């Protein structure tokens, strides 16, 4: 079974690690899609702090991750088709935007699973960035 998840993975932290390790338990091959800076900037005000190639390199180094691929458009169906995804793991902030609805429809039509996970409340990239800003302005 092929498991796929997507994200920015900026400032890799224990919340990311918990998600990635969980995803690996769901199948035989685990692939991570990493949003390009342009994709992130289409829905967030700031691009990631860590460049795309470095975010991908860090993810590739993790033993729970089998493959990493960048995505340059806010669209997931093509990767699911190319990879033959059986399980697509999404976060709690998934929402009902058109690109999300499209992949949900595709996966349901193919009889594949979508698993929604809650975020680890211990930390987030946003919290880390806020802490850095507050510590440098004291």
* Residue 63 DSSP one-character state: T
Predicted pLDDT of residue 129: 58
Q: CA angle, corner 90, sides to 96 and 36, nearest 5? A: 90
Strand partners, 29: 2
Pure H helices in 1-138: 14-24, 37-43, 52-60, 77-83, 98-109, 125-136
Predicted pLDDT of residue 121: 60
* Domain CATH code at residue 125: 3.40.50.620
Predicted pLDDT of residue 77: 97
**Residue stretches of the chain with pLDDT short of 70:** 120-133, 135, 137-138
Q: Give the range of the structural domain holding residue 54, as residue numbers without chain letter.
A: 2-136
Strand partners, 50: none
Count of domains for the chain: 1
Predicted pLDDT of residue 126: 60
Instruction: Give the span between the Cα atoms of 7 and 76, in whole angstroms.
Output: 11
The token duo for 65 is 């991750």
């Amino acid at each position: 079974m092929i498991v796929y998840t997507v994200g920015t993975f900026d400032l890799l932290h224990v919340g990311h690690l918990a998600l990635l390790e969980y995803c690996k338990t769901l199948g035989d091959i685990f692939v991570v899609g990493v949003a390009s800076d342009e994709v992130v900037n289409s829905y967030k005000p700031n691009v990631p702090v860590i460049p795309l190639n470095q975010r991908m390199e860090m993810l590739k180094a993790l033993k729970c991750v089998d493959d990493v691929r960048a995505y340059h458009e806010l669209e997931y169906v093509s990767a699911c088709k190319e990879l033959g995804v059986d399980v697509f793991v999404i976060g709690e902030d998934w929402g009902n935007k058109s690109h999300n609805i499209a992949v949900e429809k595709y996966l349901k039509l193919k009889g594949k699973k979508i698993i929604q996970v809650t975020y680890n409340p211990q930390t987030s990239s946003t919290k880390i960035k806020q802490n850095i800003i507050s510590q440098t302005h004291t």
